Structure 1
């Protein structure tokens, strides 16, 4: 009995193993060395939440916009915006340039109204971005809770849409936010810049290996600082979030805090730095943050059994913050 001859036209490469077809109903394993693409962080439902809430809040803001000058710093800020000048301390350089663009791009109505539109746009975008973040976070929580394991995708998306919309409208139509969104003021841009920090930080937490999002978050936080110095109080919370995502990186970031705290103590003891002696509330904040940083760093050193392994990332992050704050 003669052996069957191989079919011409196909030559198996040398050393190749025989391929076994995958069992029915199972997906074939990806080839060795191939990296599966990561799905985008924000899904379609998240962007729908962002677009709908941004548009809704913006329409309401524009309908309730102050038609002309109002009280407080409105006149001073409007003049500074129109002439690209410097308003009262701290000067608000980013806000001045941002609002000036609206005085140029909107060729109608008075200057105060045009600058107020810039406040409305910033507030609407900030509200929409909070809705975007909340919708995505809601999905992450649903995926981790056993209570929602059997939830259909369409109901999960509906739940995320509702959560994001409620969060966005709560901040958008909050009494303070709404009042600042319809006049000439700097606060809505400050909130928008902080929302940008949170979006970038969430991107980094979703893909920890891509440090560019962390650097961008640090840069935007520097922008936050020159928009309004009170936003610096968010720094500790951001560092805690970083430590939750990457303990080694959080450890080294808190170590930098501890070094600054130690330097402040030395300068204060020598009488060079007298700010904390003249301002008790600021001194309380300084010591609270400093001691918390020292304690947190020590705890993470014990957990990770090391220190300084992420100094390059921490250094670049700090430089990015300085670059953002340098506009001040």
Structure 2
């Protein structure tokens, strides 16, 4: 197992290097069609892009433009380079996801890994990851100043983190992976909401890992729970946290005569403070499930707070 982990890391980073090299060598020199020019310009000036906005992408791209050394001619290249590296990380996490699933498949009946099995698993990861590296749609997204490259990286990262939880589900504090996943999802909203599509897959991984006997009824319940989580994040957290804060700010400014944003700041502090207290209370009372739910919701909100920019 130690040998497999070592070679899994070595080969994974080698695949990452291949993808990064290909994308950096073929990336757009400045900009391509559609939204790329807007994203590059708004990132460089830290302005607001078209709705629903991508504040985390803007901030990360702004950091990337610092490597342009103040020369506007290289700003587009810096943003494209950031996306190329992010896409290479997507390929890395895809490789590790494939090798994890292949290893679980080979050892599902308690068998030990042989040298042949190890190389077969690594070969599957290489073929799968490099095949995706050179697919048209992903390659085009990887080399331009759009949000899809960074969004794909977050999506691959979240799936890989869930498999890390699956591997350690029986260990103490394994729920930390779920809380980390929630934070990554919250952050990814500031890039693109594509990441939310992983929620059903994550719920099913949790269900199959924690259930001794899989039943049709259990699958139906898991599907309903996945749908409820998706609706909660997409239809309640994303629109209504901002809406309630805006209405409170309107009351503070128009009715009480307080400064602009005073109501929004108070709402944000009250929300995070309340969620933090509830998380602490459920931990103290030993309510594990509620504690994980509250912690995860809090981390989604913290990640989503990139929109405060």
TM-score by length of 2: 0.69
Report how far residue 119 of structure 1 moved. 1.0
1:87 has 2:49 as partner:
yes
Matches of 1:247 and 1:62, distance apart in 2:
44
Q: 1:64 aligns with which of 26, 31, 45?
A: 26
| Structure 2 unmatched runs, 5+ | 213-218, 236-286
Query: Counterpart of 1:167?
Result: 128
| Secondary structure in 1 matching 2:163 | helix
Report how far residue 69 of structure 1 moved. 2.2
Matches of 1:65 and 1:254, distance apart in 2:
41
1:73 has 2:52 as partner:
no
Query: Counterpart of 1:302?
Result: none
1:240 has 2:204 as partner:
yes
TM-score by length of 1: 0.66
RMSD: 3.1
Report how far residue 47 of structure 1 moved. 0.9
Report how far residue 162 of structure 1 moved. 0.8
1:128 has 2:95 as partner:
no
Matches of 1:180 and 1:99, distance apart in 2:
15
Higher helix proportion (structure 1 or 2): 2
| Secondary structure in 1 matching 2:190 | helix
1:191 has 2:191 as partner:
no
Deviations 1:261-312 (A, max 9, x none): 8xx9xxxxxxxxxxxxxxxxxxxxxxxxxxxxxxxxxxxxxxxxxxx87222
8 Å Cα contact 2:83-2:143 kept in structure 1: yes
Report how far residue 122 of structure 1 moved. 0.6
Report how far residue 234 of structure 1 moved. 2.4
Query: Counterpart of 2:8?
Result: 46
Matches of 1:77 and 1:213, distance apart in 2:
32
Query: Counterpart of 2:292?
Result: 313
| Secondary structure in 1 matching 2:306 | coil
Query: Counterpart of 2:304?
Result: 325
Matches of 2:157 and 2:68, distance apart in 1:
25
1:114 has 2:78 as partner:
yes
8 Å Cα contact 1:135-1:164 kept in structure 2: yes
Deviations 1:56-113 (A, max 9, x none): 0111111111112221112111111111222111211111111112111343752111
Deviations 1:189-240 (A, max 9, x none): 0011112212221121111232111100111112222321233232222222
Query: Counterpart of 2:119?
Result: 158
Query: Counterpart of 2:264?
Result: none
1:201 has 2:172 as partner:
no
Q: 1:180 aligns with which of 118, 130, 141?
A: 141
Structure 1 residues 314 and 59 mapped into 2: Cα distance closer, same or farther (>3 Å)?
same
Q: 2:60 aligns with which of 79, 98, 123?
A: 98
Report how far residue 145 of structure 1 moved. 5.2
Matches of 2:305 and 2:203, distance apart in 1:
21
Deviations 1:24-81 (A, max 9, x none): xxxxxxxxxxxxxxx88x8112212320111001111111111122211121111111
Q: How many residues align?
A: 241
Structure 1 residues 166 and 258 mapped into 2: Cα distance closer, same or farther (>3 Å)?
closer
8 Å Cα contact 1:49-1:135 kept in structure 2: no
Structure 1 residues 257 and 63 mapped into 2: Cα distance closer, same or farther (>3 Å)?
same
Structure 1 residues 77 and 309 mapped into 2: Cα distance closer, same or farther (>3 Å)?
closer
Structure 1 residues 69 and 181 mapped into 2: Cα distance closer, same or farther (>3 Å)?
same
Deviating beyond 4 angstroms after TM superposition, the runs of 4 or more aligned structure 1 residues are 250-253, 258-261
8 Å Cα contact 1:193-1:220 kept in structure 2: yes
